[in-house]
Amino acid sequence: MKNMELQLIKKMLQDHGYIGEDAIAMSIFLSMKLEKPLLVEGPAGVGKTEIGKVMAKALNSELIRLQCYEGLDSTHALYEWNYQYQLLYLKMQEGKKGDLKKLEETIFSDQFLLKRPILQAITQQNKSVLLIDEIDRSDEEFESFLLEVLSDWQVTIPEVGTIRATNIPQVILTGNRTRELSEALRRRCLYLWIDYPDFEKELAIVKTKVPEVDSNLGKEICSFMKELRLLRLEKTPGVSETIDWARALASMHLTHLNQQIVEDTLGVVLKDWQDMRQIKDSLSELLEKTGVVSRII
């Protein structure tokens, strides 16, 4: 009985085209059950953000996304007073005689409050999914500010008071370790590390995402990517690159990889000129390893 829900989540992930290890389903399941945020880390392009999207779709709830960047602060994440609007309102009221206290109450009411993602998520009518993307890009100050929200599910606005969550949102934080996150934040979350998928998983992903791809081509693409990731590159390609590449090659109706094609379409996979140069030099060796027989015409 008990693992019904877990199976359900697995199935749900699969139905929405998300193929991954069992650990992923387990972490999602537990974070829903324990009502704890889920911190997902892993290299770029392995589908961290996708988890949030799929979850929102599956739970049939709204996805509220907060993209983090350096310098992100509470006015962008939480709330902001609509200053201009407030000023205009005051200007309009100027001629009229009114109670000053009442006026103050009005300009600090909901009407003038701009809700930013986090406040929006916790005041939502239905349970929502809050995706805090690339948390490691934000400053440490922002991280500590998140702590209040993530553990107590409440937000304090000085003029209004404390706003408690009507519905605890499903929070997913993603990061790819550009900076070490604080222990305090980690302790409030469940942790999930997603690595590059193995050959079978990746093939399955390619097949679901790009159904038109030739099965032989799919295999060759995946094994090529696998070899590619073993090399020391500046920027190792992720699963999203694999999918892009498969899509690109499938649109050309190819059934086999060959050196010329790989060389021409390398820009889809590699995003760094040094990597490009390195791979171009060792391409034939790499193709040999992946089992692509170079046919000399």
Answer for which of 14, 16, 36, 235 binds other proteins (CB under 8 A) is: 36
65 binds other proteins (CB under 8 A): no
Segment near other proteins (CB under 8 A); pick from 26-34, 58-66, 210-218, 241-249:
26-34
Of residues 36 and 247, the one with the C-beta less far from other proteins: 36
DSSP per-residue codes, the chain: -THHHHHHHHHHHHHTT----HHHHHHHHHHHHTT--EEEE-STTSSHHHHHHHHHHHHT--EEEEE--TT--HHHHTEEE-HHHHHHHHHHHSSS---HHHHHHHHTSGGGEEEPHHHHHHT-SS--EEEEETGGGS-HHHHHHHHHHHHH-EEEETTTEEEE-SS--EEEEEE-SSSPPPHHHHHTSEEEE-----HHHHHHHHHHH-TTS-HHHHHHHHHHHHHHHHS--SS---HHHHHHHHHHHHHTT--S--HHHHHHHHHHH---HHHHHHHHHTHHHHHHHTTPPPPP-
Residue window 80-119: x/- pattern of binding to other proteins, with contact defined by CB under 8 A: x--xx--x---x----------------------------
Residues 158-187 contacting other proteins, CB under 8 A: 177, 179-180, 183, 186-187
41 binds other proteins (CB under 8 A): yes
Of residues 2 and 295, the one with the C-beta less far from other proteins: 2
**Shortest distance (Å) from residue 196 CB to other proteins:** 13
212 binds other proteins (CB under 8 A): no
Segment near other proteins (CB under 8 A); pick from 123-131, 188-196, 242-250, 252-260:
188-196
**Shortest distance (Å) from residue 76 CB to other proteins:** 7
**Shortest distance (Å) from residue 48 CB to other proteins:** 13
**Shortest distance (Å) from residue 261 CB to other proteins:** 31
Residues that bind other proteins (CB under 8 A): 1-3, 5-6, 22-23, 26-27, 29-31, 33-34, 36, 41, 71, 73, 75-76, 80, 83-84, 87, 91, 177, 179-180, 183, 186-187, 189-193
